[in-house]
Amino acid sequence: MKVMVTGGTGYIGRILVPELAKKGYNVLALDRDFLTYDDVKKEYEDMGVKILKDDIRYFDPIEMRGIDSVVDLAALSNDPSGDLDPIKTWDINYIGRVRVARLAKKLNAKRYIVASSCSIYGFREDIANETSEPNPLTAYAEANKAVEKDNLAIAGDGFAPMALRFATAFGFSKRLRLDIAINAMVYHAVKTGKLRLMRDGEQFRPFIHVKDMAAAIIAGLESESEVVSGQIFNAGSNELNVKLKDVAEKVKTSVKGTEIEWYGDPDRRSYRVDFQKINNSLKFKPKYNIDYGIDEMKREFKSPEFQFKDEMITLSVYKKLIEAKFVLSKHGYLNPPLGL
Ligand SMILES: NC(=O)c1ccc[n+]([C@@H]2O[C@H](COP(=O)([O-])OP(=O)(O)OC[C@H]3O[C@@H](n4cnc5c(N)ncnc54)[C@H](O)[C@@H]3O)[C@@H](O)[C@H]2O)c1
């Protein structure tokens, strides 16, 4: 089974791709990332993974020949990055991912999974499920809503597209993200003894460990097409709808001496999500809880090998890309491995 993973050297990709290779999938990882590409190339090639440094908007469709399934992770992957340049966000997160899904169908792939986000529900009082009306509040969430609609609409003729609406990730990956809540809390607690938290911490958020994200994607790849085709699944766990102050307390207990620094006015923007559907239909239940993630990251951050890099903050990556230049790819396509 040949699987293409776009965004395959990103935070989730660095967990998913090795897991797929371990399970015997023949993997092609496409990513335009020039920051970690050279490090990853050897590691992936040693696992038998082919790596393609290119852009979802411009790669040569010939690269997709023989692909059975596509996992579409490439995107500007958070709200602040999306807000930097909403037109580029639309270009990549909507037009780019529509291109990938259409090419996948045209080139006879059977399965397509797009990584969407529970942030599509916006802030709300009730517990959102897949039938709740989305309330996208940012360019990132708008693009997710549109790409879900258009990529699921091309289901049929043996092509089974599906969307996973992920909770917010936490946990360690070799391509670490420190702009996501739990990872940032643990990092600051370990490095500075302080953890900044917006008042009053009563806000709920749904979370999922990055290894469970990979497991949810594999469950999607391995389920019957009648179960998943044209379907949206929230990916997370009802037990991990957690108040931010409770997460902060866990970090404080784990990293001795941490002080919580409160800031801002009370933020009542909350959301909780129901994850029954993925549990019932794909038999998927996350394995890792928040304590596991805190312990794992605490160990990594305390290790002398750990070094902070700018690229761990997604927003910094895209700010740099916006300032960089466009160049032509080897295919003659306008390909910006340096620019956005
Ligand atoms: N991490 C989370 O909390 C979370 C939650 C919900 C949804 N998601 C979604 O999951 C997907 C992966 O997220 P992640 O956390 O691994 O983010 P990430 O930013 O670490 O990875 C995204 C990867 O996509 C690549 N990419 C961006 N634009 C590209 C383009 N035009 N062509 C080719 N590659 C491109 C980047 O280089 C990066 O390696 C994203 O779509 C994200 O929105 C993530």
Which ligand 1 atom is at minimum distance from the Cα of 314? 19
- For residue 238, name the pLDDT band (cuts at 50, 70, 90): very high
Q: What is the DSSP string of 215-266?
A: HHHHHHHHS-HHHHTTEEEEES-GGGEEEHHHHHHHHHHHSTT-EEEEESS-
| Ligand 1 binding site (Cβ under 6 Å of any ligand atom) | 6-7, 9-13, 31-33, 55-57, 73-75, 77, 92, 96, 115, 117, 166, 168-169, 175, 177, 180, 314
Nearest to 138 by CA among 86, 210, 94: 86
10 CA distance to ligand 1 middle (Å) = 6
Query: Which helix (H) or strand (E) segment is 38 a member of?
Result: helix 37-46
The structural domains of the chain, with segments of one domain joined by +, span 2-172+207-241+271-287+314-335
- For residue 315, name the pLDDT band (cuts at 50, 70, 90): confident
* CATH, domain range 2-172+207-241+271-287+314-335: 3.40.50.720
Helices (H) and strands (E) in the chain, counts: 13, 16
How far apart CA 162 and CA 230 sit, in angstroms, is 5
For the chain, how big is the Rg over CA atoms in Å? 19
Backbone torsion region of residue 2, taken as left when φ is above 0, otherwise alpha when ψ lies between -120 and 50, otherwise beta: beta
User: Is the confidence at residue 78, as pLDDT, over 60?
Assistant: yes
Residue 258 has which token pair? 């941490």
- What is the pLDDT at residue 178? 96
User: Is the confidence at residue 1, as pLDDT, over 80?
Assistant: yes
- What is the pLDDT at residue 80? 83
How far apart CA 145 and CA 98 sit, in angstroms, is 12
Task: Identify the residue whose C-alpha is closest to ligand 1 atom 7.
Answer: 117
Task: Identify the residue whose C-alpha is closest to ligand 1 atom 9.
Answer: 115
Nearest to 331 by CA among 64, 101, 145, 58: 58
For 316, the 3-state DSSP assignment is: helix
The reported pTM is 0.94
Does residue 239 or residue 33 have the better pLDDT?
A: 239
Query: Which helix (H) or strand (E) segment is 51 a member of?
Result: strand 50-53
Measure the CA angle with vertex 81, ends 75 and 82; round to 5°: 70
Average pLDDT, the chain: 92
> Around 111, how many Cα atoms within 13 Å sit in the side-chain half-sphere?
23
How far apart CA 119 and CA 138 sit, in angstroms, is 9
Query: Which helix (H) or strand (E) segment is 334 a member of?
Result: strand 334-335
Which ligand 1 atom is at minimum distance from the Cα of 9? 39
- What is the pLDDT at residue 22? 98
pLDDT digits (tens, 9 = 90+) for 137-174: 999 999 999 999 999 999 999 999 999 999 999 999 99
pLDDT digits (tens, 9 = 90+) for 197-206: 999 899 999 9
- What is the pLDDT at residue 82? 78
- By DSSP bridging, strand 334-335 and strand 327-328 are antiparallel
Task: Identify the residue whose C-alpha is closest to ligand 1 atom 30.
Answer: 55
Task: Identify the residue whose C-alpha is closest to ligand 1 atom 39.
Answer: 10
Q: Which residues of 105-136 are buried (b: 16+ CB within 10 A; e: fewer)?
A: bebebbbbbbbbbbbbbbeeeebbebebebeb
- For residue 321, name the pLDDT band (cuts at 50, 70, 90): confident
Which ligand 1 atom is at minimum distance from the Cα of 144? 43
Task: Identify the residue whose C-alpha is closest to ligand 1 atom 19.
Answer: 77
